[in-house]
Amino acid sequence: MMKPMESSVERPHIVLITVDQMRADLMGCAGHPLVQTPHIDNMAARGVRFEQAYSGTPICIPARATIMTGQEGHTLGITRYVEGFPLPTTQTLPALLSEGGYETRVVGKMHVYPERCHYGFDSMLLCEEGRPFGAGTPQKRGYDDYELWLAEQGYAGQAFAHGIANNEYAMSPWHLPDHLHPTEWIADQSCRTIQRRDWTRPLFLWASFTAPHPPLTPLMRDLYMYERDEMLKPVIGDWAERHSLYQQRQAAAYGSERFTEKQTDLAYRGFYASITQVDRAINRILGTLREAGMLERTWLVFTSDHGDSMGDHGLWFKAGFTRGACNIPLIVVPPSKSAGPAGAPAGGWRLGETNASPVGLQDLLPSCLEMAGLPVPDDLDGRSLVPLLQPESAGSVRETLLGEFGTVGARSLMLTDGRWKYIWFEEDGVELLFDLEADPMERTDLALRAEEAERLQAWRDALALRLAARDADPAVRDGRLAAVGAPRRLDAREKASLAQYYNPRGLH
């Protein structure tokens, strides 16, 4: 009979909780005056909240590939949304943890391809927002585990019978019994995964919620919480009339110019209520950990794959480098009782603090490996954040963080040190410069200010130097950034051609 691995049992458990399309400021602990997130706030009080955490390629598929591999989009070869994209490496977060003795399980949204490829997970229970499997192939390979379960409950094909598409900003309360909501299913299955764990191994669980990604269909019980609140208004900066070509297309595609004040108000209520529903679901997971005797020996990590502009500066959607779209929540909570190779440092951990250094999704894989006491590969773009939770920490793992979205010739690029942020659009040369300390909502573009000319040039040069380190990046000529063309305005016909159906789902 095989003897249980007693040494591995002493290693801490790791629970990674992700949401989808949630921006960093939509939490009480981040100072939001309306959104109710008491349980996320409590996690922040027990750990470190990273205020300048970023999604370097802020759209679902590349962002999740970065979480899985610890590599930036450019390294992986994906800096935009590409269905059917297989991970180009077997060195994944679950595979490395599994090799180190961990039981590895995921519940919820993965958005990796092939959809049923485990990439090192012992098990996957998937909820993929109504997408039929088989992307990148001529075959239709059925639906996810949530859809199969919903059919067993007598509601086959009705997950999207509410009539709201999964990239639009209309809002409607959930149309089926509350317990059938995907947020409730992900929480239930995460709790059951904890209860059914292998007691001889430490557990790595990724609870991956689809909310608050549209469709905005929260439970009525959570909408009631905001019934008497007056919603905030989108922030409009002094540069909003000077959108780049990319931003103009994004605004036309996602309806920014067509939204009424009422529609914006309802979208905000949908976002807020969806986040509050997830907050309650997270507390159920924490409660299950506690009742299983695991909570005090578990690392908790909470984050999102990207954010949403939510009308700020005339923009909606993700896939951009203004604050709402790419600045993500990131909270790391160390175990209150540590044992084994990842034990607490002398003097304990930093608790209830914030960190303003630039960090990204690429840092999750090396962080989890260090939490587990496992070696971190040398060839990663990411850096472990665990040292930043130690009392004598230097406070940062990098000087600047790069963001990159789009295809060569039409990319949006960002460089930030956590205090300053520089954005440059390769297609037309439009640029933005923000002082995040003085202007956290990015209302004032300093790129046109004469007094900031020297600083602006320094950031241009820094981005050019970063890109020049690659093999002949066409955005750099003679050591300077070189745009493909000049700024211009889209005409009415061009804007109309970009209007879309927002990827609706029907009965199936």
The H-or-E segment that residue 75 falls in is helix 73-76
**Local structure of residue 375 (DSSP, 8 states):** P
Q: Work out the pLDDT band at 258, boundaries 50, 70, 90.
A: confident
Q: The tokens of 207 are what?
A: 């609870």
pTM to 2 decimals? 0.96
pLDDT given at position 17: 99
Over its C-alpha atoms, the chain yields an Rg (Å, rounded) of 22
Q: Work out the pLDDT band at 338, boundaries 50, 70, 90.
A: low
The H-or-E segment that residue 457 falls in is helix 453-468
Q: Work out the pLDDT band at 394, boundaries 50, 70, 90.
A: confident
Does the structure show a pLDDT above 60 at 7? no
Q: The tokens of 490 are what?
A: 């889209």
Note the Cα 63 to chain centre separation in Å: 7
Nearest one of 176, 184, 136 to 156, comparing CA atoms: 176
pLDDT given at position 1: 32
pLDDT given at position 97: 98
Helices (H) and strands (E) in the chain, counts: 14, 16
Does the structure show a pLDDT above 80 at 358? yes
Cα 98 to Cα 104: distance, rounded to the nearest angstrom: 6
Average pLDDT of the segment spanning 146-175? 97
Nearest one of 461, 467, 462 to 480, comparing CA atoms: 461
Q: The tokens of 286 are what?
A: 């924490």
Nearest one of 127, 105, 114, 101 to 16, comparing CA atoms: 105
- Per-residue burial over 256-289, b if 16 or more Cβ lie within 10 Å, else e, is beebeeeebbbbbbbbbbbbbbbbbbbbebbebb
- Using DSSP, state whether 161 is helix, strand or coil: coil
pLDDT given at position 508: 84
Cα 55 to Cα 477: distance, rounded to the nearest angstrom: 27
Burial of 82 (0-12, 13-18, 19+ CB in 10 A): middle
Cα 423 to Cα 463: distance, rounded to the nearest angstrom: 9
Q: Work out the pLDDT band at 46, boundaries 50, 70, 90.
A: very high
Using one digit for the tens of pLDDT, what is the confidence trace for 313-325?
999 999 999 999 9
Beta strands in 359-400 (DSSP E): 359-360
- Using DSSP, state whether 103 is helix, strand or coil: strand
Q: Which residues pair with 301 in a beta bridge?
A: 16, 332
pLDDT given at position 345: 79
Q: Work out the pLDDT band at 395, boundaries 50, 70, 90.
A: confident
Using one digit for the tens of pLDDT, what is the confidence trace for 453-501?
999 999 999 999 999 999 999 999 999 999 999 999 999 999 999 998 8
